[in-house]
Amino acid sequence: MNLNEKPLSVAVYPGSFDPVTFGHLDIIHRAAKRFDRLIVAVLNNTSKMPMFTVDERKDLLRQVTKDMPNVEIDSFRDLLVRYMKSRQANVIIRGIRSISDFDYELQLASTNHQLDSEIETIFMMTNPKYSYLSSSIVKEIAKFQGNVQDLVPLEVEWALRKKYTRQI
């Protein structure tokens, strides 16, 4: 194959991002360096009760990735493999924090491979600094007005504060 004809490598990093944390952001930074384009895709999952709407989550993701020109923020409510085809992407990025993540992620990756064998899942190990970090933990701390400044970007900290002061 002529190298000039090499297709663009497009990866999708799917997730709830409710809200985005430094753990997610670390994966985004690292993945964006490895692919021509990285699409961070917020799952519009009607069976979960998210704290932030899909638009709010996308908005926060856009703000915290604005210095990364090859990162695009999108959302989807279709089957992931079908969404990937529509975006001409063939790599799924997922993060692994622990053995407990691994079980679930393996099941997910195997299912996606079964549905479309052209699609490859690539796992990125968490930055050890963030191995304990999840969106749920952040929401739990913020609910009790705890300090989340080491866990999420400033924009997310403000958004959390706004949500919780509205609820009090």
Positions marked catalytic: 24, 48, 97, 135
Nearest in space to 28 (alpha carbons), one of 56, 57, 55, 67: 67
H-state helical runs in 14-71: 22-34, 54-64
Six-digit token string for 64: 């915290």
Binding region for ligand ADP (CB under 6 A) out of 56-64, 127-135, 149-157, 160-168:
127-135
Residue 15 as a binder of ligand ADP (CB under 6 A): the answer is yes
Q: Which residue is nearest to ligand ADP (CB)?
A: 23
Residue 135 as a binder of ligand ADP (CB under 6 A): the answer is yes
* Interface mask toward ligand ADP for 98-117; x: CB under 6 A: ---x----------------
Q: How far is CA 11 from CA 47, 116, 151, in A?
A: 25, 15, 25
* Residue 86 counted as an annotated binding residue: no
Residues 6+ apart with CB under 8 A from 155: 60, 63, 64
Question: Which residue lies nearer to ligand ADP by CB, 132 or 158?
Answer: 132
Residue 65 as a binder of ligand ADP (CB under 6 A): the answer is no
Q: How far is CA 28 from CA 65, 87, 161, in A?
A: 8, 18, 24
Question: Which residue lies nearer to ligand ADP by CB, 5 or 136?
Answer: 136
CA 21/CA 7 separation, integer angstroms: 31
Selected from 57, 130, 142, 152, the binder of ligand ADP by CB under 6 A is 130
CA 88/CA 66 separation, integer angstroms: 23
Six-digit token string for 19: 């809200």
Selected from 10, 11, 23, 39, the binder of ligand ADP by CB under 6 A is 23
Question: Interface with ligand ADP by CB under 6 A: which residues?
Answer: 15-17, 23-24, 27, 94-95, 97, 101, 126, 130, 133-135
| Binding-site positions for ATP | 16-17, 24, 95-97, 105, 130-136
